Chain A
C-alpha cells in the first residue's frame, strides 16, 4: 500500500465514521462534530491524492481547495453552533423537532 492510498483510505474511513454518526445521533452538537469529521476526511483524501505526481511538489490545486475548504468549514461550523444554541433556547432541547407526537 502506497502512502497515497493510505492517506486516501484513512480519509474515506473518517468520512464514513462521520456519516454514520451524522445519521445515528440526534443531538445537534454530535451532528455538527460528525460533519466536521466528514470534512476532515475529505481534506485528507484531497491531500493524499495531491501527492500522486511523479516528481516535484504535490499538485497545488487540491491543496488550494483544502485551504479554501477549511475556512468555509470553520465558518459553517460557527453558524451551525449558533443555530444550535437558538434551537436549544427556543425548544429547550438540542435535537431537531422532527416528530410531531412526543
Chain B
C-alpha cells in the first residue's frame, strides 16, 4: 500500500523513464533547430505589411496602426476572438458554479490598497480605451486593466451583488460580441460587405465597438477568475 501511494505520487509529476526523456529532449532539440533555421533564413529587413497598412490608414477612422489592424483591417479576427472569449466563459460556467469557499476578510493593507486602486484602474481603463485611437492602447489593454481591477476586488472579499449576477452580468458579457456583430452586419445595409465600415463613420463605429468590447473583456476576465457560474440567488 505504501509502495503504491509513493508510486502514484511520483507518477503525478513524470511518468517517463530517463532514457525516454533523453530521446524526447533530442527530438525537441531537433524541432528547435529546424525552427531556428527557418527563422534565421527569413530576410532580416522587410517591410512586411507595414506599407500596406500605412497606405490604407486614412480609410481606417483611427490614427494608430495597431488599432486600425485590430478593429478594421483584420476586424474579422477580433470579432471571432470575442466569440472565443465568450465560449471559454460558457465552458467554465457549464462545469459548475463558482466555489463558494469564503476567504477570510483581507488585511487592512489589501483593503486600503483596493479602495485606492480600484477607482484608479477604472480611470486608466477608460484612458486606454480612448487613447487606442491614436496611441498604444485599445479595447484589449483597457479590458485587461478592468478585469484586473475586478480580480483585485474579488480577492479583497467583494462579491457581485446577487441582483447584478443575473441578466445585468450576462448582458455585459455578451455586449462586446453582440455590438461588434451588429456593427459588422449593420454596415451591409449601406451596400458594403461584412465589416467594411464607411470611412466617414469608421472612427465612431470603432469607438463604439471598443467601448462594448472593453466592458465585456473586463467582465469576462473577472468572471473567468471566479472559476464558475456565480450564484444568482443569495
Contacts and interface: CB of A to CB of B under 8 A. Distances in A.
Contacts of A71: 81, 85, 140, 143-144, 217
Q: For chain B, what secondary structure do more than half of its interface residues adopt (helix, strand, loop), or is it mixed?
A: helix
B: interface residue count bin? 35 or more
Interface string A74-88: 111011011101100
B220 interface: yes
A2 interface: yes
A83 B45 CA distance: 44
Interface of B: 8, 11-16, 21, 24-25, 28-29, 31-32, 35-36, 39-40, 42-50, 53, 65-66, 68-70, 74, 77-78, 81, 84-85, 88-89, 91-92, 95-96, 138, 140-141, 143-144, 217, 220-221, 224-225, 227-228
Contacts, number: 147
A26 B65 contact: no
A60 B29 contact: no
B162 to A, nearest CB: 22
A78 to B, nearest CB: 4
Contact of B11 (A30, A75, A95): A95
Given A19-B31, A78-B92, A8 B39 contact: yes
B84 A52 contact: no
Contact of A67 (B65, B70, B89, B96): B70
B69 A60 contact: yes
A75 B224 contact: yes
A21 B225 CA distance: 25
Given A79-B88, A85-B227, A19 B46 contact: no
Contacts of B78: 68
Max chain B Cβ within 10 angstroms of own Cβ: one of A4, A68, A70, A102: A68
B14 A50 contact: no
A67 B140 contact: yes
Nearest to B99: A85
Nearest to B32: A16
B24 A23 contact: yes
A64 interface: yes
Contacts of A95: 11-12, 15
Interface in A1-50: 2, 4-5, 8-9, 12-13, 15-16, 19-20, 23-27, 30, 45, 49-50
B46 A52 contact: yes
Nearest to A53: B50
Nearest to A26: B15
Given A24-B16, A86-B95, A68 B70 contact: yes
